[in-house]
Each structure stands twice: as structure tokens, then as C-alpha cells.
Amino acid sequence: MTGRYSDQDVEHYDRPRRHTRPRTKERPTYDDAVDGVVVTVDRGRFTLLVDDHVVLAMKARPLGRKGVVVGDRVRVVGDTSGQDGSLARIVEVVERTTVLRRTADDDDPVERVIVANADQLVVVTALADPDPQPRLIDRALVAAYDARMQPLLCLTKSDLADPETLLVTYRSLGVPWVVTRRGGDLAELRDRLRGRTSVLIGSSGVGKSTLVNALVPDAGRDVGHVNAVTGRGRHTSTSAYLLELPGGAGWIVDTPGIRSFGLAHVQPEHLIEAFPDLDEMTEDCPRGCTHGTDEPECGLDEAVRNGTADPVRVESFRRLLAARSEPAY
């Protein structure tokens, strides 16, 4: 241990004291703790922003196995100078406003929280190179609705292919979308990001880090090429990273490319809540109705029959509902 991080400090904050009263009442109050936000995590070390400087920190023992993830607002004690060799300690994680999670699947055997406290999920899809994967888009949208995050579809590489074919599928869901191209104007995307904390998610090679570098001039995110034969990216980014947009215009999280999106944690009843116009038509559904295609007396079918619901929209909703229980590929 180096720098001003002293053993005495550890003693004071981390040792449970041997007394008879419940431990919770014994917890120090950390009056001297300062606020920070987690920008990235690497092998048990957390990079934080405290005020405007970067601080390296570890978890203090009272946090136990509690996860600390990118986007978490934390309270920190110890050496928060950020000087070389300094190490601060995270003593508290502030209650999260949102949690974007993926359930364990073949691609990733561990259930994880990807990012905390984000309010927008930007589903990044290349129009070509690599080709769009509609099932992955659907699954990411389900995760966004479940986490009560606003979805945004970002279609990159429009210099290589036309967005229209893909947009037909998503217009009826009412998902907002932007189209970007190499060297193109990002004004519309900037507008959508302003004042929010947005997470970029998508397959490897779709251009997430390229976007981040264009939006945040000194981001310096590594960019990889797409293999011309397999059409796959190289998984260039290996950990999530939170960056502030210039001029305090919001926050953005670059994440590593995903192959799939485990959704076993999603409750179907959360999904319909993201579609208030359809939700309204399910009031007379039998108890336990999932509003799926195979439900015998679903209010959505009645609404389509009597013309109050747009059949294409109902179909799109049901496609997402089904995506939840399809095997992740």
C-alpha cells in the first residue's frame, strides 16, 4: 500500500467492533466522505470521478459482496487526491434510480448489472458490416422497457446501406431512432442525448466507440475493424466506460460488444406498462393473461377486432413479448 492510504485509516472504518449492540447501529457515519461516480471497473479497482478529477478506489469491507458498477453514485473516504499511487475507499453506494441488467446465458454465465442510473438505452446497430440482428435489437428493447429506460435506436454505417428496411419493423413500436454515418452530422443524436445518461449497447463492430470518440473529442476509445470474411467485430472494447459529453450536455456509457442479451429476469407485466395505449386495452383480460398471441381471451385481440388497436402495433408488441422467452442465441 502506497501514498497516504494508511493502515490506521482501515482500522477506523473497516473493522467491525466487538460489542453486543447490532452492527448496523455501530456503522461509522462517514461524515468526511465525499461524492463520486464510477466511470469504469477493472479487476476490483474502481475509477471514479470526484469533483472533476479521477480517483482510483477499492471497495471498503462493510460493502461486502455488494456490487459496485459503472454509473453508481458512491461515497468515498481516504485518499481522494487522485495522485499517483493513491487509493480511496468506497464506503457507500447511493440507491440506484435504474438498473440495466442481463441474465446469465451461454455468452456470459454470470448475471450482471451492466450499468446503474442510466435513463436511456441506445441500441446501436450497423446497417451493414456487421449486418443487423433484429432478434438482438428486440431483446435489447425488452431490457430497456423492463429497466424503465427510454430506448433509442441508433442505426450506424448508413454510408453502406439504406435504413428503410429496418425502420419498417420499428416504426410501429414508436421507438425513436437516429441514423448516422462515417463523418456525418451528429446534431440529431446530440439532441437525443442532451441532459440524459445514455448507455450504448450492441454487437461488436457496430461503431459504438467510434460514436463516443466523435461525441467526446478527448475520449480516446480504441476502435477495431470488422473482419471482412466473417463480418464480425473484434471485441475491441473490453469494459464499460462512462464519459461526460462536452459542455455538461449529459453522460454516455460505451460498453463492450454483446453477442446476446439474457432476459430471464424480465417480467412480462413490465413490458405492457411501456405501451400505455395497449395497456389500457388489457383491463378486462383474464387474470394472469400475458397478452401473448396464444392467450385465448386477451383484450388486445378484442381491441384489434373492434378497430381500437392498430394490428401492426399489437403484433410488434407481441413480437417483443415472445423475444423475452426465446432462447438467447
Ligand X SMILES: Nc1nc2c(ncn2[C@@H]2O[C@H](COP(=O)(O)OP(=O)(O)OP(=O)(O)O)[C@@H](O)[C@H]2O)c(=O)[nH]1
Binding site for Mg ion (CB under 5 A): 208-209, 236-237
ω into 130 cis (within 30 of 0)? yes
Residue 82 touches which member of Zn ion, ligand X, Mg ion, none, C-beta under 5-8 Å by kind? none
How many whole angstroms separate alpha carbon 54 and alpha carbon 61?
22
Report the DSSP beta bridge partners of residue 196. 250
Backbone torsions φ then ψ of 296, nearest 5 degrees: -70, -35
In the list 282, 301, 303, 314, the residue contacting Zn ion (rule: CB under 5 A) is 282
Residue 256 or residue 268: which is nearer to Zn ion going by CB?
268
Residue 234 touches which member of ligand X, Zn ion, Mg ion, none, C-beta under 5-8 Å by kind? ligand X
Which residue minimizes CB distance to ligand X? 257
Helix, strand, or coil here: 77?
A: strand
Residue 209 or residue 316: which is nearer to Mg ion going by CB?
209
Residue 226 or residue 243: which is nearer to ligand X going by CB?
226
Q: How far is CA 7 from CA 3, 76, 86, in A?
A: 11, 16, 13
Task: Examine residue 102 and tell whether it contacts ligand X (CB under 6 A).
Answer: no
Bridge-based pairing state of the strands 250-254 and 196-201: parallel
Handedness of CA 236, 240, 243, 249 (dihedral sign): positive
What's the closest the beta carbon of residue 326 comes to ligand X, in angstroms? 23
Q: How far is CA 175 from CA 200, 229, 249, 276, in A?
A: 15, 32, 22, 14
In the list 237, 282, 290, 316, the residue contacting ligand X (rule: CB under 6 A) is 237
Contact 322, 292 (CB under 8 A): yes
Site string for Zn ion, 293-312 (x = CB under 5 A): -----x--------------
What's the closest the beta carbon of residue 269 comes to Zn ion, in angstroms? 10
Residue 115 or residue 285: which is nearer to Zn ion going by CB?
285
Task: Examine residue 227 and tell whether it contacts ligand X (CB under 6 A).
Answer: no
Interface positions with Zn ion (CB under 5 A): 282, 285, 289, 291, 298
